[in-house]
Chain A
Amino acid sequence: MTATEIFTLPKNRMHAFLGALSGYKLYAPVLVEGVLLFDLITDLKKFSCDAALSGNPVKPPKALLFPQTETMFRFNVTRDVDISVGKDNEGERIIFGIHSCDARSFLIFDQVFDRDPSDPYYANRRRKTVIIGIACNIPGANCFCTSVGGGPASKEGLDVLFTDLGDRYVVETVTTRGKVLIKQVRKTNPDLMAECQAVDIQKALELHKSAEEKMPRNIDLDGMPKKLARLSEHQFWSDISSKCIACGICTYLCPTCYCFDIQDEAAPLSANVYKLVGKRVRVWDSCMFPEYTLQASGYNPRPLRIHRIKNRIYHKYKWHPENFKSFACVGCGRCIDFCPVNVDIVEILSKVKAIRD
């Protein structure tokens, strides 16, 4: 670890700060038709701090490192099979304005995609991405990050952490990478950021603490994997799955759900159907869909909604912690916010805890 460096940045100089991050592609939350989404910022004028920091973007930032549709390679099948892997055009990037919960989701992705062997598509983008987060001063209605090991100002997964003090930000470097970046900015813009006064550090810490106290949802998950293991055939699952409509909102909007499907999308080159041109794509998949786990024989081990809901809960709170020592959930609350029928993961876990066995 590296010693942190702390500065302050006046709020009205935010655009100057972002402008100083030249050489990087900048991704930040922007409002598109009333929907907050991470987007490539090409014109800083269109970026508004207040809109950007009003809550968690609807679509999680996993989409920036693990896009919903990824072309793995292109092929051309004539007499021979010709395969071409796309050139790596990806430059260095910055994700700005991410909340601590979302930043932690990358650590969960790393456990799965950036191990041996690592996923080259994900790992390549991951290495080229600097992550600048903003502490969450007012948690959303369904936030429970503190229950899954995080916090509204957790630095895990971040390179730099911003804290909003009203008219200025406290800017704290977390990693060496963050330190280098801030150093660069200060070199080209010496008067942009000042050394942070002790009183501002104190204010930031108070804000972090008060946000933690405001956390609307709390659940003690101690012993959850073992409890789930004992309840896999319980009647309870049938009751809670009745109202689920098996759409993919909870999994697609989940920052940690990483299941994917691989498909060949090809078209005949001519009337000769054996001459094909196309591409192999990787797309997000969802355990809520019937196609998920459908086997070539036609058999599906998870035919009903009860199996699918259970899969989601068991993956996040049993399988993943048993294998990686952390829940596959960062407590961002999106699955609760956007469920059309109020399937509430915190309520489900609370009920699981309450079952006597």
Chain B
Amino acid sequence: MNLDKAKIEAKKMLSRGEVKYVIGYEIGTYGFRISPSFARTPEEVDKFTLSPLCANNLVTYLKVERSPPLPKGIKPSNLKVALFAKGCDSRAILQLIAEKNLSREDVFIFGVPCTGRIDPKKIEAMFPRVVSKADVVEKDDSYIIMIEGKDHPVPKDKLIFDHCRSCQYPNPLVYDLLLGDEVAAGEDYYDSVVELEKQTLNERWNYWRSHFERCIRCNACRNVCPLCYCDDCILERLKPQWMRRSVNANDNTVYHLTRAYHMAGRCISCGECERVCPMHLPLMKLYKKLEKDVKELFEYTPGLTAEEKPLLTTFKPEDSEEFIK
């Protein structure tokens, strides 16, 4: 078992004191919920699980943990952090390294070849109010959903995240230990973006306004994003206060468009922003559009190597200027 391989290695590293902790996944407290899991001792590694439900991009904790919740008197550790990373997560790591926000030697990566993850909104709609802890295994083109000893086979298509279907980089692009065989990439398409592009400016504006209006500005999309790491975020700055705290269609639009522009050429399409949104904002449509534009205009895809300079720090005389009107 690939997970067993990871557990053995994780235990070794923890018992030798080589890593601060190992971040993996564990079965959550109810239903289909998965919880990020921090193992600080070899025993805690036994909690780890790995299944199509494990969607969280754990790379975000490299950012969150920069101001770790330490008890008084304890200094932050300089040890490595070990973590599980799927294809998209590994791209976040590469992008962080390229942006000089992370050093490769600061992380130990358990690379997880990923065949797609289950959208909790979809599975909870299909199996509502599941209290007891459920599990899922993948079998060919189906998921076997196991609830209270009963197996329910469901076609993968019905539960998988939309953005996972068109994933081009399901295999980790950087890792220390690869867990399992490489898997085939999905089909490259932008159907939902193309559909939106065909609409008039007014229609698109109204589409986004109607969604942004619903936003409650809980900041979950920003906080969960592994690449939204500014210590002094413009959306939160007080002097000057760029972003009003009023929650309405106007100010929410400023919030989302500001974040979107700051993610252009950086977003690695892990889909975490859309996953966490309690108001079902179709944020991946926005971020897929950015990805597509950046690809078409600059032939650039973020998070593929640690060496290539980030898109917005480079200038080429032959860069497209068509968008400047």
Binding site for B on A (CB under 8 A): 32-35, 37, 58-59, 68-69, 138-142, 216-217, 233, 235, 237-239, 241-243, 245-249, 252-253, 261, 263, 265, 281, 283-284, 286, 289-291, 294, 303-307, 336, 338, 340-342, 344, 346-347
Asked if A283 and B245 sit within 8 Å, CB to CB, the answer is yes
With A253-B278, A263-B245, A283-B247 already in contact, the answer to whether A247 and B218 are too (CB < 8 A) is yes
Q: Which of B35, B224, B245, B279 is A58 in contact with, Cβ under 8 Å?
A: B279
Asked if B130 and A347 sit within 8 Å, CB to CB, the answer is no
B280 cross-chain contacts in A, Cβ below 8 A: 33-35
Asked if B247 and A141 sit within 8 Å, CB to CB, the answer is no
What's the tally of chain B residues with a CB closer than 8 Å to chain A? Answer: 48
Q: Which of A59, A241, A306 is B216 in contact with, Cβ under 8 Å?
A: A59
Q: Which of A142, A252, A281, A303 is B30 in contact with, Cβ under 8 Å?
A: A142
Q: How far is the CA of A294 from the CA of B232 in the complex (A)?
A: 14
Q: How far is the CA of A304 from the CA of B216 in the complex (A)?
A: 23
A233 cross-chain contacts in B, Cβ below 8 A: 71
Nearest CB of chain A from residue B229's CB, rounded to whole Å: 12
Nearest CB of chain A from residue B59's CB, rounded to whole Å: 12
Q: Is B248 an interface residue (CB 8 A)?
A: yes
Q: Is B34 an interface residue (CB 8 A)?
A: yes
With A253-B278, A265-B246 already in contact, the answer to whether A289 and B216 are too (CB < 8 A) is no
With A140-B129, A247-B224, A291-B238 already in contact, the answer to whether A336 and B214 are too (CB < 8 A) is no
Interface 1/0s, chain B 57-101, versus A by CB < 8 A?
A: 000110011011111000000000000000000000000000000
Write the chain A residue with the least CB distance to B273: A340
Asked if A252 and B218 sit within 8 Å, CB to CB, the answer is yes
Q: Is B209 an interface residue (CB 8 A)?
A: no
Nearest CB of chain A from residue B26's CB, rounded to whole Å: 9
7 A-B residue pairings within 8 Å (CB atoms): A243-B36, A247-B276, A248-B216, A249-B276, A263-B245, A307-B69, A340-B56
Nearest CB of chain B from residue A172's CB, rounded to whole Å: 26
A305 cross-chain contacts in B, Cβ below 8 A: 64, 69
Nearest CB of chain A from residue B149's CB, rounded to whole Å: 18
Q: Which of B29, B131, B246, B248 is A342 in contact with, Cβ under 8 Å?
A: B29
Asked if B67 and A303 sit within 8 Å, CB to CB, the answer is yes
CB-contacts of B115-135 with A (<8 A): 121, 128-131
Majority secondary structure, A binding face = loop
Q: Is B104 an interface residue (CB 8 A)?
A: no
Q: How far is the CA of A138 from the CA of B220 in the complex (A)?
A: 29
Q: How far is the CA of A32 from the CA of B275 in the complex (A)?
A: 18
Asked if B236 and A245 sit within 8 Å, CB to CB, the answer is no
Nearest CB of chain B from residue A299's CB, rounded to whole Å: 14
Asked if B214 and A340 sit within 8 Å, CB to CB, the answer is no
Q: How far is the CA of A340 from the CA of B64 in the complex (A)?
A: 14
B259 cross-chain contacts in A, Cβ below 8 A: none
Q: Is B31 an interface residue (CB 8 A)?
A: yes
Q: Is B206 an interface residue (CB 8 A)?
A: no
Q: Is B33 an interface residue (CB 8 A)?
A: yes
Q: Which of B128, B214, B220 is A248 in contact with, Cβ under 8 Å?
A: B220
Asked if A342 and B35 sit within 8 Å, CB to CB, the answer is yes
With A33-B211, A59-B216, A306-B69 already in contact, the answer to whether A141 and B129 are too (CB < 8 A) is yes
Asked if A247 and B131 sit within 8 Å, CB to CB, the answer is no
Q: Which of A34, A246, A307 is B64 in contact with, Cβ under 8 Å?
A: A246
Q: Is B28 an interface residue (CB 8 A)?
A: yes
With A141-B129, A243-B36, A291-B236 already in contact, the answer to whether A252 and B216 are too (CB < 8 A) is yes
Q: Is B244 an interface residue (CB 8 A)?
A: yes
Q: How far is the CA of A310 from the CA of B92 in the complex (A)?
A: 30
Q: How far is the CA of A256 from the CA of B218 in the complex (A)?
A: 16
Among B28, B60, B129, B220, find the residue whose CB has the most chain A CB atoms closer than 10 A: B220
CB-contacts of B250-278 with A (<8 A): 272, 275-276, 278
- The 3 A-B pairs at the shortest CB distance, nearest first, are namely A306-B69, A247-B220, A340-B276
A307 cross-chain contacts in B, Cβ below 8 A: 69
Asked if A245 and B131 sit within 8 Å, CB to CB, the answer is no
Write the chain B residue with the least CB distance to A216: B131
Q: Which of A32, A140, A241, A341 is B69 in contact with, Cβ under 8 Å?
A: A241
